[in-house]
Amino acid sequence: MSISRFHMPIRFIIGQGSFAQLGREAARLGKTALLVTGSCSMRSTGMLEKASGELAANGITAVVFDKVEPNPRTSTIDAAAKIARDNKADIIIGLGGGSVMDASKCIALAAAGGEPIFSYCQGKANGKIKALAIVAIPTVAASGSEANNGAVITNWETHEKVVLTHPSIYPAISIVDPTLTLTVPARTTAQGGVDIFCHLVEAYVTAHESTLINDSLREASMRTVVETLPEVLDRLDDIEGRSKLTWASTIACSQFSSLGGGTGLMTLHGLEHALSAIYDMAHGDGLAALLIEWMKFTLPARRERIEKLGQNVFGASDGIVATQNWLHKVGMDRRLRALGVKEADFEALADNALRTAPWVKFHPVPLDTSSIIGIYKKSY
């Protein structure tokens, strides 16, 4: 078994109602918080007001920044970092989905270092900087950003969506309260479910070594998503179902799912980030559109893994057909054409993917410009 690292310096507070502990927990970290959200859902669902009340009741001054867009942009992050510095914030609280949590991690780094966040992505900034304390509060079961030190951000000027990892942007505290996801609409719920499934299936299929612990953890988590997502889409207020999806989301994009080796690669993600960078599409939609052709492309080199997926996750002989049927069942059969992608852009998309996600070159069947264009074409 190859050597792998497990480092997760995050204090998790997990469970229905754990959101009420925000004030007490944040008070461990500082006195002035930048409370980061998207532009509408936290206000419309009352969660922003609740968070502000919790913080005030525990003596924390909160400055609200409610301008994070889906597929968070570097320009937004830098603007928020300036506000954090001007207010001498010592805590950055991300209350929202993956876009908000990722933006918050980066705001914490940019505010501490005083340099534009994209300079960290280019390796030009001082890497020794220690980000401000981060509190992550996921309100969508999808990214698992509450459980890692990664952030996926977009430089909209250059249309580059990149993964930034930094040793100091683990959340100090992650409050994972499934009740916060009860207001997520069906389409976003389904997009999130596909994202969780892809976090698990990509590494499961590309893993160069399989280990019982790691495979079982991923298979159980995939089964949870496959079985639970249709139930939640039928009944959006199904708190037990929402709890299962939230837990799978936290596990799927954390080192829990690579503990014990058999890490695998996130190469489908690399192809999708190019789509979001150029078309600003929802991450889960881009993944759903590419997943089947990515599996077919990988089959020659990972037949046995894809058969194992079929048997152990779907109880079916053909893992690709079973996945396709599931996508249909949850209303996530997506085609690039319907998502607004232009055929004339395929080459630019492929170059973008190779530039911003260089790890795709190590896919079990090497991905290059022509093979990536082939996957985009067949997903059109």
What residue ranges bind Zn ion (CB under 5 A)?
A: 195
Beta bridge partners of 63: 34
The residue among 146 and 219 lying less far from ligand NZQ, judged by its C-beta, is: 146
SS3 127: coil
Total binding residues toward ligand NZQ, as defined by CB under 6 A:
37
The residue among 35 and 330 lying less far from Zn ion, judged by its C-beta, is: 330
| Residue 71 found at the interface with ligand NZQ (CB under 6 A) | yes
HSE of 378, CA atoms in CB hemisphere, 13 A? 13
Residue 48 touches which of ligand NZQ, Zn ion, none (Cβ within 5-8 Å per kind) = none
What is the C-alpha to C-alpha distance for residues 131 and 138, in angstroms, rounded to an integer? 20
What is the C-alpha to C-alpha distance for residues 198 and 349, in angstroms, rounded to an integer? 20
| Residue 97 found at the interface with ligand NZQ (CB under 6 A) | yes
Label residues 325-347 b or e (16+ Cβ within 10 Å = b): ebbeebebebebeebebeeebbe
Minimal distance in Å, beta carbon 98 to Zn ion? 7
**What are the angstrom distances between the C-alpha of 347 and each of 369, 371, 374?**
7, 11, 10
Q: Which two tokens stand for residue 259?
A: 């503990």
The residue among 66 and 195 lying less far from Zn ion, judged by its C-beta, is: 195
The residue among 1 and 101 lying less far from ligand NZQ, judged by its C-beta, is: 101
| Residue 151 found at the interface with ligand NZQ (CB under 6 A) | yes
Q: How many CB atoms lie within 10 A of CB 201?
A: 29
Q: Is 46 exposed, middle or buried (0-12, 13-18, 19+ CB in 10 A)?
A: exposed
What is the C-alpha to C-alpha distance for residues 86 and 73, in angstroms, rounded to an integer? 20
Minimal distance in Å, beta carbon 331 to ligand NZQ? 16
Please identify which residue in 23, 30, 70, 178 interacts with ligand NZQ, judged by CB under 6 A. 70
The residue among 174 and 181 lying less far from ligand NZQ, judged by its C-beta, is: 181
| Residue 40 found at the interface with ligand NZQ (CB under 6 A) | yes
Stretch 258-277: interaction string toward ligand NZQ, x if CB under 6 A: -----------x--------
Cβ 99 vs Cβ 38: under 8 Å: yes
| Residues of span 334-363 touching ligand NZQ by CB under 6 A | none
Q: Which residue is nearest to ligand NZQ (CB)?
A: 38
The footprint of ligand NZQ (CB under 6 A) covers 37-41, 45, 70-71, 96-100, 102, 139-140, 142-145, 148, 150-152, 180-181, 183-184, 188, 191-192, 195, 199, 253, 269, 283-284
